[in-house]
Amino acid sequence: MTGKSQLGDFLQARRSQLRPEDVGVPTYGERRRVPGLRREELALLAGVSASYYTRLEQGQSLSASSEVLDGIAGALRLDDSERRYLHDLARADRHRTRGRRPAPERVTDATAQLLDVLADVPAIVLGLRSDVLAWNRLGHALFAGHLAPGAPDLSGQRPNMARLAFLDRHTRELYADWPSKARAVVGNLRLVAAQHPQDTALHALLGELSAKSHEFASMWADHRVKACTVATYEMRHPLVGPLTVVQQTLSHGPGPNMVVATTEVGSTSRAALALLAQAITQPSTQDTIPAGPAPTRPQADTA
């Protein structure tokens, strides 16, 4: 998944997505053979020579300074997340090392306590590669009620939210606007991949999703980057019907993150969550949720 130059691939993709009229480059009505900006046009906007930019895009130069990268980021109209991603890619290309097996991920005592306190709020704890390390009862019922409640405790068989989003029918049908959710998943994985280029388990996951989902492969090739810290989604839950939630990622620095789903006070969505909380106290709840195909299990313990 790394290619000859991740930086070059990203630059080429984003350049092709930027139209001349977006940045005030005159075309004088000429017919252009390639989509987006030409290399020399982008180089001019970035304040570098066309030959240097060409070498950078072709992966022949790995020594771009922060100033040069910032100039290119400005020319490409990158936002803050995309700018950080650009710098991460350049750093990864400069310091290429052999991949390594990641260390096991675990839920800290503090995170476990927070998860317990948030009993009335759907919450799940996700590892670096979107593996579900833990969830509370309401988080399980909202996001993956068709899976066994104890699934996160099986380190070699933990659910993976990225895998579920693309390969699991239940999760796909859970989101009214599934493409928006899918693009957010892919955009976040791109950020993680740039920050952890030596993570072999992560690249194995990316390879698996690309092979098994043409939609993932297409979105990954688009090189879009998105930090999924806060997002609003309309969900169609099989047990309580439609509801709109705000999914927020609570990060405490390096280590697992917690994703919580909140609803507006007094809304029908808040009422639906309350109904779901009441329903999961019923022993037969699991039998009422239609089960989708089980997600593909990872080949090795990536937790």
Give pLDDT tens digits for 5-41. 788 889 998 898 888 877 877 776 677 777 788 899 8
Whether the pLDDT of residue 244 is over 70: the answer is yes
- What local confidence, expressed as pLDDT, does residue 281 receive? 82
Average of pLDDT values for 179-206?
A: 92
H or E segment and range at residue 228? none
Mean pLDDT value across residues 204-226: 93
Token code pair at residue 254 = 């390096």
Q: According to the model, what pLDDT value does residue 97 have?
A: 58
- Spatial CB neighbours of 298, under 8 Å, sequence gap ≥ 6: 156, 157, 158, 160, 201, 204, 205
Q: Which of 231, 230, 243, 236 is nearest to 273 (CA)?
A: 243
Mean pLDDT in residue range 262-268: 96
Q: Are 267 and 122 in contact (CB under 8 A)?
A: no
Q: Which residues pair with 246 in a beta bridge?
A: 232, 262
- Predicted local distance difference test score (pLDDT) of residue 45: 92
Whole-number Å distance between alpha carbons of 142 and 151:
15
Predicted confidence (pLDDT) at residue 290 exceeds the cutoff of 50: no
CATH topology of domain 109-288: Beta-Lactamase (3.30.450)
Write the burial class of residue 216 (CB in 10 Å: 0-12 exposed, 13-18 middle, 19+ buried).
Answer: buried
| Torsion angle in degrees (nearest 10) through CA of 232, 237, 240, 245 | -10
Q: Which of 201-205, 250-254, 270-274 has the lowest mean pLDDT?
A: 250-254
DSSP string, 191-213: HHHHH-TTBHHHHHHHHHHHHH-
**36-54: pLDDT as tens digits:** 888 998 999 999 999 999 9
Tell me the pLDDT of the chain averaged across its residues.
86
pLDDT interval class at 102 (50, 70, 90):
low
Mean pLDDT across 205-227: 92
Backbone angles phi, psi at 81, to 5 degrees: -65, -40
Examine domains 6-94 and 109-288 and report if their fold is the same: no
> CA 82, CA 95: separation in Å to the nearest integer?
20
Helix axes 80-94, 6-17, angle to 10 degrees: 150
For residue 144, the model assigns a pLDDT of 96
Distances (CA, A) of 9 to 142, 172, 210: 37, 29, 17
Distance CA 231, CA 249 (A): 9
Pick the CATH number of 6-94 from 2.40.50.90, 1.10.260.40, 3.10.129.10, 1.10.10.10: 1.10.260.40
Closest CA to 76 of 50, 32, 43, 33: 43
Q: Is residue 99 very low, low, confident or very high in pLDDT (cuts 50, 70, 90)?
A: low
Rounded distance, CA 119 to CA 149, Å? 15
Beta strand pairing call for 257-262 and 123-126: antiparallel
- Residue pLDDT, tens place only, 119-139: 999 999 999 999 999 999 999
Residue 90 falls in which region: left (phi positive, over 0), alpha (psi -120 to 50) or beta: alpha
Pairwise CA distance, residues 202 & 208, whole Å: 10
* pLDDT of the residue at 17: 87
What percentage of residues in the chain have a pLDDT greater than 90? Answer: 55
146 to 81, 140, 279, 291: CA distances (angstroms): 34, 9, 14, 5
How far is C-alpha 47 from the geometric centre of its chain's CA atoms? 32
Domain segments of the chain: what residues? Answer: 6-94, 109-288
**For position 2, what pLDDT does the model report?**
43
Q: Which of 25-29, 77-81, 202-206, 231-235 has the lowest mean pLDDT?
A: 25-29
